[in-house]
Structure 1
Amino acid sequence: MNTHPCKVISPDNLMASFEVAIKENPANELTLTSGGRHKRSVGQWSKFWGNGRSLNITFVNAEPETLRKQIEGIIRQWEPSTNLTFTFDQALNGDIRIKTGAQTNESYVGTDATLAPTDQPTLSLFVGPQDNDFEWTILHEFGHALGLQHEHLHPKANIPWDKPKVYDYYKAHYQWTKEQVDYNLFTLLPTVDFMQGPYDKESIMHYVVTNELTIGDWEVPRNTRISKLDRRNMRKAYPKANTTP
């Protein structure tokens, strides 16, 4: 099961979320085409950072340097698949601010982090370095921080959830409300999305799905590594300059 499931932090103001995303990266604006005309669609937009940008990552807590370096090493697994530069400079403001020892694993998605108060974390970790879930949880949460959504919400996932059991399970184990379960497990992403590719059961962004919470024989084990499609999506969101002469 999801030992420590992730909750995406939803912005309070959707218009503000849209505006900061477009200001940061105009390519985030998704359009609907009708009769050859493009129509702005607030409610459907991506949240990727500006291409070629430097993202500074800081820590809210006074963790040991060894722990910070461990987290940094895990996060840098994403870097080769982007055109971004990751810096870890505590003397500067953090674009992404990490809190360890939190009550839950959660993150803002991409540019939504700019909406958080500057003294508050934008990515929180419940798991610690002694936890077997430590590395994959950080990879998952930082995928959100780079702008990726949950893969089990892909519009073509077609997961045969046994919804009453799912509601009961998350209420009993994590005290999630029905609305929180709906938002994090059942509300599929819009189909109009330039990032949309094949559904990826191996994505690091996918929840664990067990047979006990689905109808029939259907499950997804814990994915512990960034998948090939995850990297392809990152390269699509943050394309590197073509160096071919």
Structure 2
Amino acid sequence: MNRRYCSLPRQSAPAFAPGLAAERLGALAAGRRMWVNGTVLHYCFLDADTDASVIPVPGTGRTRRVPWAGAEEQRDVLRECFREWQDLGIGVTFTEVTDRSEAELRIGFQQGDGSWSVIGRDALSVGLGERTMNLGWDLTEHDGRWTALHEIGHALGMRHEHQSPFAGVHWDDEAVYADLAGPPNHWSRDRTDRDILHRLDAAEANGSVWDPQSVMQFSFGPGLILEPEQYHNGLYPSGSLSPSDKEFALRWYPPAAAPAALVPFRSAPLGLGPGEQGDFAVEPPETRVYSVGTFGESDCVVVVFEERDGEPRYLAGHDDGGTPHNARIRVRLVRGRRYVVRVRLHSTWGSGETAAMCW
């Protein structure tokens, strides 16, 4: 069986200040790509005439346009897979939109460009004219549904499971290079290192135990894995969401709770543990520019949403992780409208209390 693999875009390492404690660095690595819970992730399919890649035609000196548009049956598979993740009861929801300027996730179907997604809220740094996800082969064929579930897992912040440091996998490196260099993947040794052989930091892994049945786990043919010995003849996950996949999603994105009131000029103690979140509603008494932020020796991400037709829309955000400063946003709030402030704690690194405030 020809196995086509997800090929992640190259990712830059975060530039944290030197001298941070290992526990603090671990918390930052675990949470820096995760969405705040309660986020509505809007996705759109790119299909305009201008949505295409321009690639060279070998040996001719010419180029050709390769469109990003996908047929409706391809889109339907992805819609079904968004619903499957949603039906777990997670606090993040997915909504399809047609305006790319409203979409955090912009999806293309360029054939020959592989299947990939940026990880979690790294999508916010991708330009509006660019894709955050690509499905590079027919999703109605074998493993197409696995591909769609897998890429949505990346969009939620999940990493490749076979790269978990808890897997204890001993590879036959040269056999892996040779297998991936051939069809249908045609990968370089560098890409194989990045997406197969490189081990993640423990804080970046999806969980503290390896899950060979995860939807984020690749299947591998015989002779690529030397140990554990039981997988020497191949590893073939089911291609569906495993119990550990569901646990990961619900751990980071539990069903959203009703927000507490955040009254201007009145601090609200957070009392959170690492990875936990506080949610607050703000109804400004006057229209003006407000500051929204945290106090205390902690690493937090703060996001302000404006409710429009009952749905929270991203307005502004700030992650202070790894700096000596607190997260702070200056944003114009309008009297008569309702806003939601979500604060996810990465870690605390001092003895004082962490609090949120709007002023």
Same fold (TM over 0.5): yes
Q: CA separation in 2, counterparts of 1:179 and 1:55?
A: 32
Selected match of 2:92 from 65, 81, 84: 84
Tell me which amino acid in the other structure corresponds to 2:122: D
Asked if 1:236 corresponds to 2:251, the answer is yes
Question: Relative contact order: is structure 1 or structure 2 higher (C-alpha 8 Å, sep ≥ 6)?
Answer: 1
CA contact (8 A) 2:39 2:92 kept: yes
Question: How many angstroms does 1:90 deviate by?
Answer: 0.7
Q: Which has the higher helix share?
A: 1
Q: CA RMSD in A?
A: 2.6
**What CA deviation, in whole Å up to 9, does each residue of 1:194-219 have, x standing for no partner?**
95332111100001122221225413
TM-score by length of 2: 0.57
Aligned counterparts, 1:57-76, within 5 A: 57-61=43-47, 62-76=69-83
Partner of 1:52: 38
Partner of 2:10: 10
Q: Which has the higher strand share?
A: 2
Aligned counterparts, 1:27-46, within 5 A: 32-33=22-23, 39-40=24-25, 44-46=29-31
Q: 1:160 to 1:2 in 2, by over 3 A?
A: farther
Selected match of 1:181 from 185, 192, 202: 192
Gaps in structure 2 of 5+ consecutive residues: 48-68, 259-359
Does the residue aligned with 2:43 lie in a helix, a strand or coil? strand
Partner of 2:215: 204
Tell me which amino acid in the other structure corresponds to 1:90: T
Q: 1:31 to 1:220 in 2, by over 3 A?
A: farther
Q: CA separation in 1, counterparts of 2:211 and 2:197?
A: 17
Gaps in structure 1 of 5+ consecutive residues: 19-29, 34-38
Partner of 1:221: 236
Q: CA separation in 2, counterparts of 1:184 and 1:123?
A: 16
CA contact (8 A) 1:84 1:238 kept: yes
Q: CA separation in 2, counterparts of 1:186 and 1:89?
A: 37
Query: How many pairs align?
Result: 225
TM-score by length of 1: 0.82
Q: CA separation in 1, counterparts of 2:216 and 2:171?
A: 18
Q: What is the aligned-residue identity percentage?
A: 26
Q: 1:176 to 1:92 in 2, by over 3 A?
A: closer
CA contact (8 A) 1:195 1:237 kept: no
Of the two, which has the highest radius of gyration?
2
CA contact (8 A) 2:146 2:239 kept: yes
Partner of 1:27: none
Q: CA separation in 2, counterparts of 1:67 and 1:9?
A: 22
